[in-house]
Amino acid sequence: MRVTLLLLLLLTGCAAPLSKTQSPAVLAETKALAAFARDGWHLPFKVTVFLPAGDEGEDLALEQLAELRRAYGDSPFDLYAAHVSVVTEGEPEVSLEADELRLDVKIPLGGAPLSAEALLEAVCEDYEWKRSARWYANEAEEDLVAALQRDLGKLCRLQDGLALDCRRLELLAATLQARAKGDEPPLLWPSEAEFARTAQYRATFAINRVLNTLARWRVAAEDSSFKRQREALTVAYHARLIHEVYLDWFLDVVVGGRTKLKIWKKDWWSRNSLYRALDTPAPLQGVGGKLGIPTLSGGIRTLLSLRLDFSLRGCFSDLDQAWNKQRSGSTDDALRSELAVTTSRLERLRSLGKEKHFDSFTAFKELWDARIKDTVKVPFYGLVKSVAEFLGDTRIRHPDPAVSTAQLAALESSLRPGDVILVRQELYLSNAFLPGFWPHALIYLGPTKDWTRLKLADGTPLSDDPVVRAALPEYAKSIEGDPARVIEAISEGVVFNSLERAVQKDYVVVFRPELAEAEVASAIRRALLFLGRPYDFDFDFATDDRIVCTELVYRAYDSQLKFSAGARDPQVPGVVAVMGRQTMPANDLARLVLYMARHPSPNPKTGYPGQRLRVVSLLDRTGPGTAEFLTGAAAKARLEESVKR
């Protein structure tokens, strides 16, 4: 009788009675879904399917379960159960039962299954972090350990990704401020706007995944009967710090300091250019547009509202008190390494939080101003759907590069040791990480015999220099069957690479230093000093223990080319200050070359060296086919256009 009443309540509005299916195919799929959640998330996920008598609608149920699997895989929020009902009449419906975090789906016979996107939107609209589900109560010991291990590691990865996006947005903000001090308006080029919005998608998605992780373990962290309470508290406390620190940091970069750019103008109240790009109804263009990213109106307002969730702040306060009381104790052997890594991060996070604090009054003021300006509200799922396609540092599709093998051979025949090359390949997610059209810089060396015979100022050929001799065995190694030809800083660090891997892209531009042989040889030698150094995700030129791509060019050539002249003359592109750091985006290196072409004479007062870099050639993907090969004035004109894309 109780089961019957439950079904009647659950399936109100159905014309025919339903019952839990006994279909072998459907039951097998429900078990597969539960295993999918267990294998990937180490969480319980119970799926129940209700069908009319005789298992009518079995195929429709299987289609709906496939969409449910897709939705579960893309969701930033937890689900612990799902009820799928195939009814004889009515309209499709989906809702989230917030207390149990159960998704209820109803689809009529003869209709189509609800899409994963529709299911996800229901989850994201109705998700409530303050739930009190004790999902862990009946979990096996090994499953609890696996879930804790996964979340401890996941939080570290989310923290690193958020830090990277915040630093890169600081870099973009500094570029805008440098433009404002010079003779350019502080506006974003289209490729920079694409970068900023993509960073916002990733950051919003990551911040909500952190919040979900906090919600998952919050109740367990308060449950004295839970034998892994201390480990649950560590996860929840780490999530609490990540959420507060990186949400504040992101908002401080994008929203804070908005009067710095136009402080004495009549429109001094206008938001800075980053805010304008991220809080606008204009759709994302370029690669993102091809992926179908929706309009992002009111995106920053979503994050400002989250910053003003005072019930969440109360939860943070409770976690702080619990952590201060319970943080001492024995370390669990099964989780020893994960707990050690997390604990080492906590103090640094607290210090960073003091530096990046974004106060509630400012958040309230900005949100109020935004709501007066425009009351458009956008569901969070608009962000979730988009960002899921950007997760991971990978290509979105794999078409052939626009630069053909023949073009690469022709390009190589014109290159000289020491040439500086900028490259871009479409559909790489790394493009979205860096502001400007040109994301990456490297130095061409060429065949060993060509660059090692260059002579230093004292007449010593590079082949006899100890630094070079130490590097030659590594240079002699083939890279996937191709010989080394360049040195570059990539995510693996400073490495030698082949021309095919490093330069056969969609866009390539070559700059030639107008320097004597000894100066080029010295620059190459300096670049080799950094071989093997790790990549610098702080983008800080002040230290050389880690190297970013343009920093390798800077370290090799700054003594001759004076990339830092812009520090004394804001109109000269090059090195810019980013929150106390000195750095140089690859796109600004291209702008410096163009500035040199317009200003060939040196300026001794500022240290500007005059035109000491010139454009040699440029390969530009103009359509679906091969790239267009340009040289001389045509290459320079195309470069002028490219830096504004």
Q: Averaged over 328-342, what is the pLDDT?
A: 76
Per-residue pLDDT band at 7 (split at 50, 70, 90): very low
Give the per-residue pLDDT at 3. 39
Task: Name the strands in the sheet holding 81-87, side by side, starting at the edge strand that comes first in the sequence.
Answer: 18-20, 46-52, 81-87, 102-108, 93-97
pLDDT at 295 over 60: no
- Strand bridging mode 81-87 / 46-52: parallel
Each residue of 243-267: pLDDT tens digit? 999 999 999 888 876 544 444 444 4
Give the per-residue pLDDT at 117. 85
Count other C-beta atoms under 10 Å from residue 134's C-beta. 12
Q: Could you state, in order of their start, the residue ranges of all structural domains in the chain? A: 2-126, 141-364, 405-642
* CATH T-level topology, domain 141-364: Methane Monooxygenase Hydroxylase; Chain G, domain 1 (1.20.58)
pLDDT at 9 over 60: no
Question: Locate tokens 């895989």: which residue?
Answer: 73
Q: Averaged over 432-456, what is the pLDDT?
A: 88
Q: Averaged over 62-74, what is the pLDDT?
A: 92
Distance CA 278, CA 194 (A): 10
Each residue of 527-581: pLDDT tens digit? 999 999 988 877 778 778 889 899 999 999 999 999 888 667 778 888 876 655 6
- Residue 380 identity (one-letter amino acid): F
Which spans in 529-601 are helix H?
A: 549-561, 586-598
* Percent of all residues in the chain with a pLDDT value above 90, rounded to a whole number: 49
What is the residue-averaged pLDDT of the chain?
Answer: 82
Distance CA 443, CA 486 (A): 6
575 in Cβ contact with 554 (< 8 Å): yes
pLDDT at 633 over 50: yes
CA-wise closest residue to 116 among 61, 71, 64: 71
Q: Averaged over 517-531, what is the pLDDT?
A: 96
Per-residue pLDDT band at 15 (split at 50, 70, 90): low
547 in Cβ contact with 536 (< 8 Å): yes
pTM above 0.75, yes or no: no
